Amino acid sequence: MSQFKKVVFVLGVAFAPLFTAMADVLPAAGAAEVTAVREAPRDIIGEIIDVVGLKPRFEVRSANIDNAAAVIYNGKRYILYNERFLASINNAVHTDWAGVSILAHEIGHHLNGHTLSSRGSNHADELEADEFSGFVLRKMGASMEEAQAAMQVLSEERSSATHPGRSYRLAAISKGWRNADAQLLAGSGGQSREQQQPIASQTRPQQPAARESVRPETKVTNTAALDSRLVLRKVIFSNAPNEQFFLTTRLQLVHMTEDGARVVGKLARTNNPDYPFYFESEYLQGLFVTDSGVLVNKRGQRVGYFG
């Protein structure tokens, strides 16, 4: 049984579809529910709206639905959510930020105009709402892990016709979180460490794959095991294809060894659109990542990729 199915079984909650933007499609039975349900806690919604800086042209209500949804009914915008659903998710991941991220996701659907379309849920809209959620939670003080907590347990690993797979959604949340983080740094007069790093050549790599040496890990964090829920992507190196490297939700590069999981680097952002990321590491010098997930060295030679 997958991690997602285990959570569903334990909580006894039906999670499909997961976070939905709907147009004017509430059934007749749902119309009465919208006028009868209670309002969401104003402190959470108020914080989200304060971060965005826009007027909330919608009403947020608890309702008898499976999870949460952004809807329009009779020309009026609503954010609907199931109280027990949010409480169950918060309990499952041990943080109230999970529920906040779900509400922020739905608010993102309205503020990005997704509910004005009749096309229903789709990958582009869901990822845009995920990015909005990550942005909002960083502004509210959540860590990257807290911003991604709900999506870690609720999303399916593979993409469906309406919703992207887990890795894509976590990446979207990460993007929003990091954009907000950069704004906060700029607002405080600081400069992010990644902006001070040298960047690779503007030319995309054309050379054949090269063998990049991986130095032995020393002075790194060592844990007995790596929780699968913390794995964002697998990382494959050309010269060590059978070694187990993973990128975690904290953007750490972890090497699985006989002694356990060792952190050997951390993913950071550059100001180069061709090579938007690089690994901060004592052991992997000059290792950059393209927007398609290919790992290259300083010479622009391919040395690995994200699996």
Q: What is the spatial distance between Cα 214 and Cα 243, in angstroms, rounded to a whole number?
A: 11
Report strand pairing: 222-223 vs 260-269.
antiparallel
Cβ neighbours around 276 below 10 Å, total = 16
Q: What's the angle, vertex CA 285, arms to CA 281 and CA 286, rounded to 5?
A: 110
pLDDT digits (tens, 9 = 90+) for 82-124: 989 988 888 888 888 999 999 999 999 988 888 887 777 899 9
Q: What is the spatial distance between Cα 268 and Cα 286, in angstroms, rounded to a whole number?
A: 12
Residue 150, pLDDT above cutoff 90:
yes
Choice between 219 and 77, residue whose per-residue pLDDT is larger: 77
Q: How confident is the model at residue 135 (pLDDT cuts 50, 70, 90)?
A: very high
Asked whether the beta carbons of 177 and 135 are under 8 A apart, the reply is: yes
What confidence score (pLDDT) does residue 225 get?
65
Q: 3-state DSSP call for residue 46?
A: helix
Q: How confident is the model at residue 187 (pLDDT cuts 50, 70, 90)?
A: low
Residue 246, pLDDT above cutoff 60:
yes
**pTM exceeds 0.85, yes or no:** no
pLDDT digits (tens, 9 = 90+) for 203-239: 433 333 333 333 433 333 444 467 777 777 889 998 8
Residue 39 structure tokens: 């309002």
Q: How confident is the model at residue 148 (pLDDT cuts 50, 70, 90)?
A: very high
**Listed residue (72, 70, 159) closest to 123, CA to CA:** 159
Residue 137, pLDDT above cutoff 70:
yes
Residue 157, pLDDT above cutoff 80:
yes
Q: What is the spatial distance between Cα 85 and Cα 95, in angstroms, rounded to a whole number?
A: 14
3-7, 54-58, 138-142, 267-271, range with the lowest pLDDT = 3-7
Ramachandran bin of 235, using left for φ above 0, alpha for ψ from -120 to 50, beta for the remaining angles: beta
Q: What is the spatial distance between Cα 297 and Cα 307, in angstroms, rounded to a whole number?
A: 18
